[in-house]
Amino acid sequence: MRISRTQLSKVFLSSAATLAIAGAAALLPAPAAHAQTPINPLAPLRAKVGGYFADDYGLMVGASYDLGTRRAALVVPVVYSIYGDAVLGGDSSFLGAGLQARAYLTPGVGGAPRFFAGAGLGIYFPDDGDTGIGGKVFAGADFGTRLFGTLGYHFVPDVDNSLELSIGVRF
């Protein structure tokens, strides 16, 4: 399946517009919490957009949902997630879904970035149709309570494994 530059442009523009609207909404002030209720610093849903750089380039989009976020945010520095990633365009197009773990390396106290590293394992559907098990490793940072950035490397069957650079927002 080849994706034309026009289709890629439409997907990129719609993804960028969605991310811009979500980012603007995320920056709105949150309602005040009651003193006895602990505030969960991690929103469980993440959406990202970025680039995938192999022999050619593609648009990377993805989403993940954190499992047990409240407990992880307050007790342990590891968060497990269900994820879905897609690369559109070029010879490296694929869809992938699976489970990932993200380990926080710093506490992010006082508004400082909260750095993390992680890995994921899942089922990948490359453009050529040869479904297989693949994975990814990644590192990044949460900036405040909503924005994050990620640098990752994907291992996808029958696809040029390569670098992902993305930005995203948490809901």
Q: Tell me whether residue 75 is in a domain.
A: yes
Q: What is the reported pTM? A: 0.72
Q: Quick count: other Cβ atoms within 10 Å of Cβ 105?
A: 12
If you ran DSSP here, which 8-state letter would residue 132 be given? E
Convert the pLDDT of each residue in 54-98 to its tens digit: 777 889 999 999 987 655 454 558 889 999 999 988 777 899 999
Give me the number of domains the chain comprises. 1
Q: Tell me whether residue 69 is in a domain.
A: yes
Q: Is 130 exposed, middle or buried (0-12, 13-18, 19+ CB in 10 A)?
A: exposed
pLDDT value at residue 13: 45
Domain that holds residue 131: 5-30+47-170
Q: Is 169 exposed, middle or buried (0-12, 13-18, 19+ CB in 10 A)?
A: buried
Q: Which residue, 161, 167, 168, is CA-closest to 53?
A: 161
